[in-house]
Structure 1
Amino acid sequence: MRTTVSVLALAGLLWAGAASAAEAPADLVFWGGPIHTADDAHPTAQAVAVRGGRIAYVGDRKGAQAFVGAKTRVVDLKGAALFPGFTDAHAHLYGIGQRELTLNLEGIQSAAALAQAVKAHADKTPGTGPVLGRGWIETHWPEKRFPTRQDLDAVVADRPVVLVRADGHAMVANSAALKLAGVDRNTKAPSGGDILKDANGEPTGMLIDAAMSLMSALAQQPTPEEMRRTFQAGFKVYSEYGWTGLHNMSVPWDQALMLEDFAKAGELPLRVYNAVTPEAGKMLLAGGPRDAADSRVVTRTIKFYADGALGSRGAALFEKYHDADTTGLVQMKAEDVVPVYEEALRKGIQVATHAIGDRGNSLVLDWYAQAFAEVPTAERKVAEPRWRVEHAQILTPADIARFPALHVIPSMQPSHAIGDLHFAPSRLGEERLAGAYAWKSLIAAGAIVPAGSDAPVERGDPRIEFYAAVARKDLSGFSAPDWHPEQAVDRETALKMFTLWPAYASFAEKDLGSIVVGKRADFSVFDVDLMTVPEAAIPKAKALMTVVDGKTAFRAPGW
């Protein structure tokens, strides 16, 4: 694309800080540390000025001085680094809050330790109500197996226990929970799910993907006040991590409305972009995209599930798992979902579909292509729909090129690659690893790859995600020889993956994602420069400040 002289001149004018300093002083000025803009024309700056919630100046410190008035708040970074607001392009905000308030099983090192954690929690919360928890991963346990109902029965037999695997695609239940849900040796798994059974045909307690719905009878509908507390816990931890926003996945309608209420009341410190459940999608299709509190909460996407997860062997593969006699689970059928996709195209609703396995991804691309063919551009409410595939973890080489060819966005989570490296080779075998977590190949093919965390599946820390994107190693610095280190990206690309590209994936690149005059003033400040510190130092950085619409959302104590 040819850039005209006038456009270049305008860019230079804005960069020089001529954005009308004489109109009024800035509300806020930053200087005193490295500033990275995610703007290719001017990737770094010495100072930024903010007026009315938008960026009024980006340039050198001398130019910024003209924006300082008697009431201007000047923030001396004192060597800390300022970035465009980091945005988690795939997370579950309510689940993040739940993790803070319920039995958190992250880091459990064995089935025995899992049982002891359940016992300790049950002892602290006596009664007959269910014991609910989440976060376990068995791939590194000495027992080399999934947990079972017998593990749980040994410590809690008189009340239901249900523990969700970290990926959210499997759960283990004790005998009391199975009995209450009516699950026994004769229960048939629903389509897209599996009930694991032992050699005698009895349920082991493990329910995979759609089979987890059999436990819905145990789900206690939270009160509005409980929902509020859960969201507030999520707000707090995400602001403190350094995020200024997130793309909130699989959101029920009542949660989307509650988030709008938070925003309207000025109680939402993050920018939230909602992708609702298929059930809530019916309301979205009927009423159209929603924008609350000057885009603090935007709801315009429906999230679907094509398959399950790799760790619980629910991801749909073309060939059998390398370590099990299964090809995974397909959650949808073309005849059911493609008509909904077509309606979404006609009504300007974005579609995001979860796909992890190579077959799951290929099916989604097929279904998207079918919908695009059935609804030509002239019949679409939005000519450029920016549909997404969430995860895009395991791809065949041929499908990598299909993403940019179809203008489909692969929304990926770097930390999955550092967690999964300890079990993905055994699940997939060496050959399929070539298309696993292939951010660099997708970007080289022309795809835009927004990055997220999938929290609470992962911790949800931007430092870990940034490190995973550029290092492709676990937090100890380990990476397997067959883990394709060439898929790591450079830091400039990683910065876009967490700033400019999530903005693009949410139709907001004119307002968000880079530090450019006229855009909204969303910033993340870390105590070290993520672009220059040694690789191993990235996860040790501290978030010092987040700014959303020019207002401080979080500031570290003592800074």
Structure 2
Amino acid sequence: MNRSLCLSLLALLALAPTTRAADLLVNQVNGYTLDSRGRLQHFQAMLIAHGKVVAIGDSADLAKRAGDAKVIDGHGATLLPGLIDAHGHVLELGYARNQADLTGTKSLDEALAKLKAYAAAHPEAKWITGGGWNQEIWKLGRFPTAKELDAAVPDRPVWLSRVDGHASWANSAAIKLAGVSKATKDPSGGRIERDRHGNPAGVFVDGATVLIGSKVPAPTAQQKAAALDTALAEMASVGLTGVADAGIDLANYQLYRQYADANKLTARIYAMILGTGDDFDVISKDGPLIGYGNDFLTVRTVKLFADGALGSRGAAMLAPYSDDPHNHGLLFLKPDQLTSDIGKALGKGYQVAIHAIGDRANREVLDSYTAAYKTHPDGIALRNRVEHAQIISLEDIPRFVPLQLIASMQPTHATSDMNMAEHRIGARRIKGAYAWQRLLKQGTVVAGGSDFPVESPNPFYGLYSAITREDHDGQPPGGWYPDQAMTPAEALRAFTLDAAYAEHAEKTLGTLEPGKWADFILIDHDIFKDPASKIWSTKVLQTWVGGKQVYSARN
């Protein structure tokens, strides 16, 4: 054989496709995934090589192809693609668990007792921080006060975030230390709740939280790492293999880079830079970070805020609140500033995700995207997002289509808010609230999330709410505005394929198709065949990311 022919054959061999030997067979499972069109597929086994799916199919057939691959016997357990939360707050989840956690408290007295016990157990803490409180669940009919907080912790400043993260509660020591008084004016985009004499009453809403929050000592590097470790462990235990972290600063970015470099991330993080200020300028210096560390870290999105939250009446409404006729809520940015911020992000090639709860905020966001696309026409292809898209005027819902916007929504918000939402906004506006089917039927992608720690990070709570629109006691029977409920396949898609699409990752994540990362979970029952009432109580048995086990219920 002459040398030129030999070289030609070698070149052809180099171009020929190679078959990777499987290194893992997950066998005897009740497997479900979606295909690239979102259709539900069923299988019994999955072959994996180098962390990626080789094939799914019949147990006997794949066993023949497995060779000397390690075999995991699923013992008939249900297998699903790893679930992706399209909107959470990772370090905040860790802080919530490591600080005073009032999540789930049923009354003011219960919360104060829990807080008093926490303070007694942490005598070294100069500040008592935490959150998770919700005056609606406590049925107070008002915000709690500083004086009530003083009864539990009078000797140290206390600062506690409301469950939605859009209001915080301070005791008298914190207010005094921050120098806030009757003379202090409400900052732009914020409100100080006041007593009948005009003095700070204890709760600070949205932009006013900086008055106290700026005095709270920043977490140490050790506290940040501990929060990330705590959050990653909890995320793995509930079956989350990916999370879009909706708002990070430079320090969080650097921590994620460190964890990715050390192979310490156990979930894929899609991080959004908070705002277009100094931190964005530093992080974006070399452009978007895509697929860093074997696809464990991507930073290609900017998070902006248009308004506050419904529970604290900070959501910006076109008409006054039905239960507070002098209040329209709070817009955070003037329209020209919002448009400018969108344009800055798009100009550097970053996707934009904007928090919008109220119908006025959603309209401002739609208007600002429209204006920004005029100067950045290529930006429409970046799959820009509206985070929450919670209350939208019916006439504005169709505008999502020509703007090619993704609705990043949290199904548990509907079932958590149904006790007060219609009271807040009335029977007419509720038609455009939590309107999943109105968006889906017009072709808008709905990416599912939780907004944890506002809600539980457990994605099965989200799947349950999406499908039933009932609380965990089955109320109201048949669901709250059930015409907007998702089918089981639509709900799974929202937390898998469409959440991946919202991250520009549908070719590598979201389904268990050959060539995609082997991110999957084993659970204790069949969510497609068992009664929907069981979905929220689903237990995760194992969580795998990239073909490696990151959680076992036996651990």
TM-score (norm: length of structure 1): 0.92
Q: Does 1:150 align with 2:147?
A: yes
SS at match of 1:362: helix
Does the 8 Å CA contact 1:89/1:411 hold for their aligned counterparts?
A: yes
Unpaired segments ≥5 residues, structure 2: 1-15
Question: 1:57 and 1:459 mapped to 2: Cα distance?
Answer: 33
Does the 8 Å CA contact 2:470/2:479 hold for their aligned counterparts?
A: no
Equivalent in the alignment of 1:16: none
Equivalent in the alignment of 1:328: 329
Q: Does 1:90 align with 2:87?
A: yes
Structure 1 segment 448-527 matched on structure 2, within 5 A: 448-479=445-476, 483-527=480-524
What does the per-residue CA deviation read over 1:374-395, in whole Å, with 9 as the maximum and x for residues that have no partner? 2223xx5xx6110001000001
Q: Does 1:114 align with 2:111?
A: yes
Q: Does 1:303 align with 2:292?
A: no
SS at match of 1:319: coil
Question: 1:102 and 1:303 mapped to 2: Cα distance?
Answer: 25
What does the per-residue CA deviation read over 1:454-485, in whole Å, with 9 as the maximum and x for residues that have no partner? 00000110111110110111111102899311
State the shift of 1:25 in Å: 3.4
Equivalent in the alignment of 1:74: 71
Question: 1:133 and 1:228 mapped to 2: Cα distance?
Answer: 17
Match of 2:550 among 528, 548, 553: 553
Equivalent in the alignment of 1:430: 427
Match of 1:421 among 410, 418, 423: 418
What is the one-letter code of the residue matched to 1:51? A
What is the one-letter code of the residue matched to 1:62? A
Worse-matched range after superposition: 33-42 or 95-104: 33-42
Question: 1:492 and 1:108 mapped to 2: Cα distance?
Answer: 33
Equivalent in the alignment of 2:173: 176
What is the one-letter code of the residue matched to 1:310? L
Does the 8 Å CA contact 1:128/1:158 hold for their aligned counterparts?
A: no
Identity of aligned residues (%): 39
State the shift of 1:48 in Å: 1.2
Equivalent in the alignment of 1:341: 342
Question: 1:374 and 1:286 mapped to 2: Cα distance?
Answer: 22
Question: 2:99 and 2:86 mapped to 1: Cα distance?
Answer: 24
Structure 1 segment 43-442 matched on structure 2, within 5 A: 43-70=41-68, 72-127=69-124, 129-278=126-275, 279=277, 280-291=279-290, 292-324=292-324, 325-377=326-378, 384-442=381-439
What does the per-residue CA deviation read over 1:218-263, in whole Å, with 9 as the maximum and x for residues that have no partner? 3212221221111000010000111111001111111112112111
Instruction: Indicate how the Cα distance of structure 1 residues 481 and 399 shifts in structure 2: closer, same or farther if over 3 A, else same.
Output: farther
State the shift of 1:294 in Å: 2.0
Alignment length (residue pairs): 534
Q: 4+ runs of 1 displaced by more than 3 Å? A: 22-25, 480-483
Question: 1:495 and 1:482 mapped to 2: Cα distance?
Answer: 19
Equivalent in the alignment of 2:22: 26
State the shift of 1:37 in Å: 1.3
What is the one-letter code of the residue matched to 1:331? F
Question: 2:505 and 2:294 mapped to 1: Cα distance?
Answer: 12
Question: 2:59 and 2:322 mapped to 1: Cα distance?
Answer: 58
Question: 2:553 and 2:137 mapped to 1: Cα distance?
Answer: 35
Instruction: Indicate how the Cα distance of structure 1 residues 194 and 144 shifts in structure 2: closer, same or farther if over 3 A, else same.
Output: same
Question: 1:41 and 1:372 mapped to 2: Cα distance?
Answer: 33
Question: 1:206 and 1:268 mapped to 2: Cα distance?
Answer: 36
SS at match of 2:401: helix
What does the per-residue CA deviation read over 1:390-428, in whole Å, with 9 as the maximum and x for residues that have no partner? 000001111111112210001000111110011112111
Instruction: Indicate how the Cα distance of structure 1 residues 142 and 348 shifts in structure 2: closer, same or farther if over 3 A, else same.
Output: closer
What is the one-letter code of the residue matched to 1:45? F
State the shift of 1:515 in Å: 1.2
Question: 1:540 and 1:159 mapped to 2: Cα distance?
Answer: 39
Instruction: Indicate how the Cα distance of structure 1 residues 375 and 482 shifts in structure 2: closer, same or farther if over 3 A, else same.
Output: same
Worse-matched range after superposition: 364-373 or 472-481: 472-481
State the shift of 1:75 in Å: 1.7
Question: 1:210 and 1:287 mapped to 2: Cα distance?
Answer: 31
Instruction: Indicate how the Cα distance of structure 1 residues 205 and 293 shifts in structure 2: closer, same or farther if over 3 A, else same.
Output: same
SS at match of 1:405: coil
SS at match of 2:44: strand
SS at match of 1:531: coil
Does the 8 Å CA contact 2:470/2:478 hold for their aligned counterparts?
A: no
Say what the alpha-carbon RMSD is for the aligned residues: 1.8
What is the one-letter code of the residue matched to 1:218? K
Question: 1:32 and 1:26 mapped to 2: Cα distance?
Answer: 17
Equivalent in the alignment of 2:12: none
Equivalent in the alignment of 1:13: none
SS at match of 1:450: strand
TM-score (norm: length of structure 2): 0.93
What is the one-letter code of the residue matched to 2:286? G
Question: 2:220 and 2:283 mapped to 1: Cα distance?
Answer: 24
What is the one-letter code of the residue matched to 2:293? A
Match of 2:528 among 528, 531, 545: 531
Question: 1:98 and 1:440 mapped to 2: Cα distance?
Answer: 35
State the shift of 1:127 in Å: 4.7
State the shift of 1:216 in Å: 2.8
Question: 1:350 and 1:554 mapped to 2: Cα distance?
Answer: 32
SS at match of 1:266: coil
What is the one-letter code of the residue matched to 1:290? L
Worse-matched range after superposition: 157-166 or 476-485: 476-485
Equivalent in the alignment of 1:36: 32
Question: 1:86 and 1:127 mapped to 2: Cα distance?
Answer: 39
What is the one-letter code of the residue matched to 1:323? D
Instruction: Indicate how the Cα distance of structure 1 residues 101 and 77 shifts in structure 2: closer, same or farther if over 3 A, else same.
Output: same
Does the 8 Å CA contact 2:306/2:332 hold for their aligned counterparts?
A: yes
